[in-house]
Amino acid sequence: MSRQRIRVGKYELGRLVGEGKFSKVKFARNMETGEGVAIKIMERDTLLKQKMVKQIKREISAMNLIKHPNIVRLHEVMASKKRIYIVLEFVMGGDLHDKITHDGRLREDEARKYFQQLITAVDYCHSRGVSHRDLKPENVLLDSYGNLKVSDFGLSALPQQEDGLLHTQCGTPNYVAPEVINDKGYDGATADLWSCGVILFYLMAGYLPFDDQNLMRLYKKSCKADFKYPLWFSSSAKKLISRILDPNPKTRITAPEILQNEWFQKDYIPPKFQEDEDVSLNDIDVVFSDSEEQLVTEIKEIQPVFMNAFELISMLQVLNFGNMFEQHMGLVNQQTRFTSKHPAKEIITKIDEAAGTLGFNVKKRNFKVKLQGANIGRKGRLSVVIELFEVAPSLCMVEVHKAGGDTLEFSEFYEKLSSALKDIIWKSKVNIGEIA
């Protein structure tokens, strides 16, 4: 039995963990360090057709500027002839939207903890000149320790206009600031804070402050800050949210003011971290070029099926209830196993050579071998099936069982086979029921 393993550079690709309109995100493992990462995979042709190259370059540039414990980390960027790969920190705890949908609204102290992490991350982005422009619970992930991680900088921006303002309308309607809707330009950092205020309300209330199926009515509510607080909101929380959800960006509270706010400061622990060197992306255009020297290749390899602990246990005689209806001695005589620390391909090659020497016809398919004896025995030709399983990164289990022919002949064959394979067998002749 076998499985296909795909490697890109030093990463082995695994299961699909997310999928967007123009990208897929797969779990991967760094083969050098063993570290798990998430790789965002995009097709070059799709990016060109959808005119998204500029947006992807902007996302890479923005993430390269920011290294913060509450922001998803960019490790590196690679490209093949067909695909672009953005290697990111793997965050496995879901997002804030999933948490509220599953658990309901949060207690005020829990919502405050997440809001503190969100503001410190967003303020850090702004200090590096990066505005996110699409802050919402779906883009705020949680790691296995419950720490917040801001992600998805696809709509991020650096103010490059002469007036120092942004002019592109973007973001998710329920979270977008009123000034973004107008066509007069806006400050990205100030607009981000509005989105943070909507997120805080959502965490504590369990629903959005501005929500309407009709976009025009939704925008009118946002422009007038037309919303009501639930009864369980504390007065200090309401005061802060009211200052954040101020429709006038000139009088809206700033990030430094939020950081000094009494409600915000309760149990606040500032993050401590040391900025690493920037990811090596001196020329982002190189990622989108066709330079052969800069491209990586996808390497597809056939590997033996990995047998997990449950599957291994299920094969044991003592726990395999299906085997209770078999005759124990007969099963032992017809099936046996051995283990080896040698590479899977080397084991298969050795089996092929040994079986040929013993006069068997050999048919191989990946990591399964079928043998048939040349001579007709007492019960016809002896047929043997050998399958290889990977039970650990450096340990393989080889199962040898009789598919046809005489049991005594099979026993004699296995003695000769194990003798021929003595250099690769780690633990010889482990019968079913003897594996511990």
In this structure, the answer to whether residues 74 and 115 fall within a common structural domain is no
Local confidence band at 150 (pLDDT 50, 70, 90 cut-offs): very high
Q: Could you tell me which residue, 233 or 414, shows the higher pLDDT? A: 233
First to last CA, the chain: 23
**Identity of the amino acid at 134:** D
Asked whether the CA dihedral 285, 71, 251, 246 is positive or negative, the reply is: positive
**pLDDT value at position 435?**
36
Q: Could you tell me which residue, 431 or 376, shows the higher pLDDT? A: 376
In this structure, the answer to whether residues 120 and 82 fall within a common structural domain is no
Average pLDDT over residues 288-296: 66
Tell me, yes or no, whether 71 lies in a domain.
yes
pLDDT at 61 over 50: yes
In this structure, the answer to whether residues 113 and 250 fall within a common structural domain is yes
pLDDT at 288 over 80: no
For residue 158, what are the CA distances in angstroms to 162, 234, 242, 318? 12, 36, 27, 65
> For residue 52, what is the domain's CATH number?
3.30.200.20
In this structure, the answer to whether residues 221 and 360 fall within a common structural domain is no
pLDDT tens per residue, range 388-421: 887 776 788 888 888 888 888 888 888 888 889 8
Q: Shortest CA distance to 196 belongs to which of 272, 144, 252?
A: 252
Looking at 44, 59, 90, which one is the last position of a domain? 90
Mean pLDDT over each residue of the chain, to the nearest integer? 82
Looking at 90, 112, 137, which one is the last position of a domain? 90
Instruction: List, in sequence order, every residue forming a beta bridge with 38; answer none if it has no partner.
Output: 27, 88
Looking at 90, 123, 148, which one is the last position of a domain? 90
**Identity of the amino acid at 427:** K
Angle at CA of residue 385, ends 384 and 387, nearest 5°: 150
Local confidence band at 47 (pLDDT 50, 70, 90 cut-offs): confident
Tell me, yes or no, whether 281 lies in a domain.
no
At residue 83, what are phi and psi to the nearest 5 degrees?
Answer: -135, 155
What's the rounded Cα separation, in Å, for the pair 224 and 237?
A: 20
Tell me, yes or no, whether 320 lies in a domain.
yes
At residue 87, what are phi and psi to the nearest 5 degrees?
Answer: -90, 120
Of the candidate ranges 282-286, 327-331, 357-361, the one whose mean pLDDT is the lowest: 327-331
pLDDT at 100 over 90: yes
Tell me, yes or no, whether 257 lies in a domain.
yes
pLDDT tens per residue, range 1-22: 455 678 888 998 888 887 777 8
Q: Could you tell me which residue, 180 or 52, shows the higher pLDDT? A: 180
Q: Shortest CA distance to 155 belongs to which of 142, 165, 166, 141?
A: 166
| Total domain count, the chain | 3
In this structure, the answer to whether residues 156 and 105 fall within a common structural domain is yes
Task: For residue 13, give the 3-state DSSP assignment.
Answer: strand
**Identity of the amino acid at 115:** F
- Please state whether the predicted TM-score (pTM) of the whole model is above 0.85: no
Q: Shortest CA distance to 152 belongs to which of 181, 175, 127?
A: 175
Instruction: Give catalytic status of residue 163 as yes or no.
Output: no
Per annotation, catalytic residue among 95, 134, 187, 246? 134
Which residues constitute the domain of residue 229? 96-272
In this structure, the answer to whether residues 346 and 402 fall within a common structural domain is yes
In this structure, the answer to whether residues 51 and 121 fall within a common structural domain is no
In this structure, the answer to whether residues 186 and 123 fall within a common structural domain is yes
Local confidence band at 320 (pLDDT 50, 70, 90 cut-offs): very low
Strands 74-79 and 427-431: unpaired
Q: Could you tell me which residue, 51 or 255, shows the higher pLDDT? A: 255
**pLDDT value at position 94?**
87
> For residue 357, what is the domain's CATH number?
3.30.310.80
**pLDDT value at position 322?**
41
- Find tokens 């123009």 and name the residue: 22
**pLDDT value at position 323?**
40
- Asked if residues 287 and 40 have their Cβ atoms less than 8 Å apart, the reply is no
Tell me, yes or no, whether 296 lies in a domain.
no
**pLDDT value at position 133?**
87
In this structure, the answer to whether residues 223 and 343 fall within a common structural domain is no
In this structure, the answer to whether residues 160 and 243 fall within a common structural domain is yes
Give the CA dihedral 60, 62, 66, 67, nearest 10 degrees.
Answer: -10
pLDDT at 283 over 70: no
The first and second tokens of residue 398, run together, are: 């080889």
For the chain, percent of residues with pLDDT exceeding 70 = 80
In this structure, the answer to whether residues 164 and 100 fall within a common structural domain is yes
Of the candidate ranges 117-121, 156-160, 342-346, 350-354, the one whose mean pLDDT is the lowest: 156-160
Asked whether the CA dihedral 233, 238, 244, 245 is positive or negative, the reply is: positive
**pLDDT value at position 166?**
64
Query: What Rg do the C-alpha atoms of the chain give, in angstroms?
Result: 30
For residue 343, what are the CA distances in angstroms to 244, 348, 409, 417, 424? 61, 9, 29, 18, 9
What's the rounded Cα separation, in Å, for the pair 411 and 400?
A: 11
Residues present in the chain in total? 436
**pLDDT value at position 15?**
82
Q: Shortest CA distance to 390 belongs to which of 423, 419, 352, 347?
A: 347
Of the candidate ranges 38-52, 172-186, 286-300, the one whose mean pLDDT is the lowest: 286-300
